[in-house]
Amino acid sequence: MLNVLMLKFQFMSYRGYLDNITAIGPRTVGSPENEVLAVNYLLEQIRRIERESTDAHKISVDIQRPTGSFSIDFLGGFTSYYANITNVVVKLEPRNGAEHAVLSNCHFDSVPNTPGASDDAVSCAVMLEILNTLSKSSESLQHAVIFLFNGAEENILQASHGFITQHEWAKSIRAFINLEAAGVGGKELVFQTGPENPWLVQAYVVAAKHPFASVVAQEIFQSGIIPADTDFRIYRDFGNVPGIDLAFIENGYIYHTEYDTSDRILTDSIQRAGDNILAVLKYLATSEKLAKSFEYRHGNVVFFDILGLFVLAYPARVGTIMNYITSAIAFFYLSKKVLQPKPRAVHNLKKLLTAFSLTLTSWVCTLVAVLMVAMFVSFIGRALSWYTHFYVSVSLYGTAAAAKLILVHMLAKKFFYKNVNEQSLGDVFFDASLMIWSIALAVMTQMGLCSAFICTLWVAFPLLTKLMIHREFSQKGATIKFILMYMLGMFVPYLYMLYLSWTVFEMFTPVMGRSGSEIPPDMVLAGFIVIFTMILSSYFINFIYLVKSTKTTLITLTTVFVVTLILVCSGIFFPYSSNAANPKPKRVFLQHTSRRFHDLDGNVVKSDSGIWINGFDYNGISHITPHVPEINDTIRTPCEEQAPFCGLPWILPVHFMFRKNWYLPAPEILPRSPIQFKLLSKKLIPWNSVRLSFEVSGPSHMSLYVRPRAGAALSRWSLGDGMPVASLGGDYFVFYSRGLHAAPWHFWVELTDPEKHSDGILSLAIAAHYFFGEDQKSPQLYALLERFPDWTFSSGWSCTYDLFVF
């Protein structure tokens, strides 16, 4: 009874913290809500915990307000500058102090116009309760635990950079746990570890009560397919510290929207996350390996959970040996089959290679056919029909893939293998699938991919099954028994693959609603479905040749596909949903913008104002036009070719993801706190170079766009490490943010120009973004937002844009 009450008490603490943080409202960097109210609440709770802690511990609290700059290759590459942002740092250590520490990181800021419950208030709530629990323990920890409540993660990882590069406690950190979100609740997935340091994964394996981890997710995330990043990168790249990255992944449809509220995060999710993170932190804080982590740093690790029950983890070098041995055994088995009897070796090899080629051909034909269907659906304007109804994607693309696979092999059986024994065909196509998986295993292992363990499953278990079953359907009475034993042998790889596919689709499907206007989401999802169909069918292709007829199956699949395609074309499956219990909104960003373009003498040569509109998915504004008729394709935004980034006020350099946007004319906006931009000095320096120094004062968020004129080159600047980093397209992008009471921003740029240019050597533009306060939304923007349908999440703010030539 006592344990039950304790668990309930802990949950109520988590929930109380979470509700109070989100009740503050959106916590945008620089806003009073983020810099004052949220900070004061955290300090109030930390001081209370400090008062109630036992004598075994010492609690130190520090408010850090760093200023700094760095470059990052995220989103094509840009430079970040921050000033006077806020970190709340707490150190829990033994009374006599500790030399080494483990870091736990969350962030309390949110994106504009959202309460940010899952991203990342719930993690901060969990950390507060973990601090409370550890501080009340009578047992002293061996190492310190540093809790970083960082106040500027949504500004592309600025606060973590300020901490790890500038705070005095950062030097003692030997490992970290980063708590993030890519969805709202559910299980928290370990999707990044290391780099190297396999002992950290082992710590999670031993300590976590409810494990959920995948090296597959790690390799997918680090490939850059998902347009996101976390503080893990900063600690890894700038602090040279290894760690574990966890994130909630379920229900990503409402991630970064107004629906990310505390009531949508389930009790079980909070308790589960608290149990796991408390156990892992306590394990690390009492581990001998933490102090000597440098001795255990070498080598990567293969890790994956089994249905959330436990985690299998082993060194990557062990995995490499296992993989090569497995593939070698498979190739030995195949060569033995080919060479027996020897007189028929050439014939056997020809049969195997033919089956191998046919299998690959069927996969290619299936992929091409299904992608053509996806292309057609996208072309007629029915993309994302499955966004709210995921079963539609299975009914449309899954059935098409299965039907095409069966059709290819049915035709091969009928015309190419007309007079061949069915039993021998079944056997040779099994061997062909085994050969494909063995090659894939060897190739992926050679590439150093830890995800090659999946191929090991698909080689080892089918091969063991085949070796244990010696009958080749020669006796009719043995058919059912053979099939049952065959299915049983395939159970493990099939079960794991279904479990993995659920995780992948849980992560990727919502991402398609915020992946930009350029990537057809239907083709991406269709591709995933085809891949999983090919994997799951690879060892059942042989049954097409063993059964008398697959006509009924083919007709059924084709019927389901045709009916679904007709329904999709009719528009019956609307992509978005305003269902209060499970919303799946369309994301639209609107910026009421005033633009001014200056010439070399500082005169305004062009100006305009309007509401700049970006739809975050492939459908653009096609579904919005019926509700707001003036937003249509006649107001597509033109590109100002002479200006960097087309003369548009991008808050981040995502121009390559959103090439289709719209500009609705609107009255000029006059912010009460306008931007102040000054050229302080122009200095000629050796080697045909010039240094331009600037001063900028403005709102908490600004974007700087730089383009050297033809013949000139940007050689150095005062930002980052001093070496300019170009974004995609060749222009330079600087993201600026500040907390309260920051001094004016000073920076300089150096340009090399071997020739004199009468029209200047540099185009420089600056956009000021008003994310909160009285300047955030104009009356015209408010009125337009009110007209948007309830199945949209429309986030709006005001901004100004000024282009100068020097």
Average pLDDT over residues 738-749: 95
Domain, as residue range, for 388: 323-570
Give the model's pLDDT for residue 754.
65
Residue 739 has pLDDT above 70, yes or no: yes
Q: Where among 513, 544, 570 does a domain terminate? A: 570
Shared domain check, 745 and 679: yes
Instruction: Note whether residue 478 is domain-resident.
Output: yes
pLDDT tens per residue across span 428-459: 999 999 999 999 999 999 999 999 999 999 99
Shared domain check, 357 and 269: no
Give the model's pLDDT for residue 712.
87
Angle at which helices 551-570 and 345-379 cross, to 10°: 20
Distance CA 213, CA 463 (A): 27
Lowest-pLDDT choice from 167-176, 349-358, 679-688: 679-688
pLDDT bracket for residue 368 (50, 70, 90): very high
CB proximity list for 759: less than 8 A, separation 6 or greater: 600, 709, 805
Give the model's pLDDT for residue 483.
78
Shared domain check, 718 and 677: yes
Average pLDDT over residues 147-166: 97
Give the model's pLDDT for residue 757.
66
What percent of the chain stands above pLDDT 70?
A: 97
The DSSP result for 619-654, as a single string, is TTTTTTTTTSTTSSGGGBPPP-TTSGGGG---SSS-
Residue 122 has pLDDT above 60, yes or no: yes
Instruction: Note whether residue 94 is domain-resident.
Output: yes
Q: Answer for the pair 750, 715: CB distance below 8 angstroms, yes or no.
A: yes
pLDDT bracket for residue 3 (50, 70, 90): very low
Q: Answer for the pair 759, 707: CB distance below 8 angstroms, yes or no.
A: no
pLDDT bracket for residue 688 (50, 70, 90): confident
Q: Which residue bears the tokens 């060194």?
A: 315
Q: What is the pTM of this model?
A: 0.93
CB proximity list for 531: less than 8 A, separation 6 or greater: none
Q: Answer for the pair 42, 34: CB distance below 8 angstroms, yes or no.
A: no
Average pLDDT over residues 506-511: 92
Between the alpha carbon of residue 91 and those of residues 95, 293, 361, the distances in Å are: 12, 20, 60
Q: Where among 546, 570, 594 does a domain terminate? A: 570
Q: Answer for the pair 34, 20: CB distance below 8 angstroms, yes or no.
A: no
CATH of the domain at 252: 3.40.630.10
Instruction: Note whether residue 732 is domain-resident.
Output: yes
The top-scoring range by mean pLDDT among 14-28, 465-479, 545-559 is 14-28
Shared domain check, 556 and 594: no
Say how many domains are in the chain.
3
Give the model's pLDDT for residue 449.
94
Residues recognised as catalytic: 153
Q: Among 337, 316, 278, 287, which residue's Cα sits nearest to residue 136? A: 278
pLDDT bracket for residue 230 (50, 70, 90): very high
Average pLDDT over residues 500-512: 92
pLDDT bracket for residue 10 (50, 70, 90): low
Shared domain check, 607 and 531: no
**Chain centre to alpha carbon of residue 18:** 24
Residue 5 has pLDDT above 50, yes or no: no
Shared domain check, 790 and 747: yes
Instruction: Note whether residue 509 is domain-resident.
Output: yes
Angle at 581 between CA 580 and CA 587, to 5 degrees: 60
Distance CA 776, CA 236 (A): 36
Work out whether strand 301-306 and strand 745-752 pair parallel, antiparallel, or are unpaired: unpaired
Instruction: Note whether residue 305 is domain-resident.
Output: no
pLDDT tens per residue across span 757-772: 667 889 999 999 999 9
Shared domain check, 139 and 247: yes
Instruction: Note whether residue 308 is domain-resident.
Output: no
Helix-strand-coil split of the chain, %, nearest 5 = 45, 20, 30
Residue 341 has pLDDT above 80, yes or no: no
Lowest-pLDDT choice from 421-430, 455-464, 510-519, 697-706: 421-430
Q: Among 498, 489, 427, 497, which residue's Cα sits nearest to residue 461? A: 489
Residue 389 has pLDDT above 80, yes or no: yes
Instruction: Note whether residue 307 is domain-resident.
Output: no
Give the model's pLDDT for residue 6.
37
Query: Which residues are bridge partners to 243 per DSSP?
Result: 176, 194
Shared domain check, 645 and 548: no
Residue 58 has pLDDT above 80, yes or no: yes
pLDDT tens per residue across span 251-306: 999 999 999 999 999 888 898 999 999 999 999 999 999 988 878 888 889 999 99
Shared domain check, 526 and 613: no
Q: Where among 505, 537, 570 does a domain terminate? A: 570
Average pLDDT over residues 583-597: 97
pLDDT tens per residue across span 541-575: 888 887 878 899 999 999 999 999 999 999 999 99
Shared domain check, 548 and 401: yes
Residue 177 has pLDDT above 70, yes or no: yes
Instruction: Enter the DSSP assignment of 741.
Output: T
Shared domain check, 450 and 549: yes
**Average pLDDT over the chain, rounded to an integer:** 91
Instruction: Note whether residue 450 is domain-resident.
Output: yes
Shared domain check, 357 and 210: no
What percent of the chain stands above pLDDT 90?
A: 78
Distance CA 592, CA 780 (A): 8
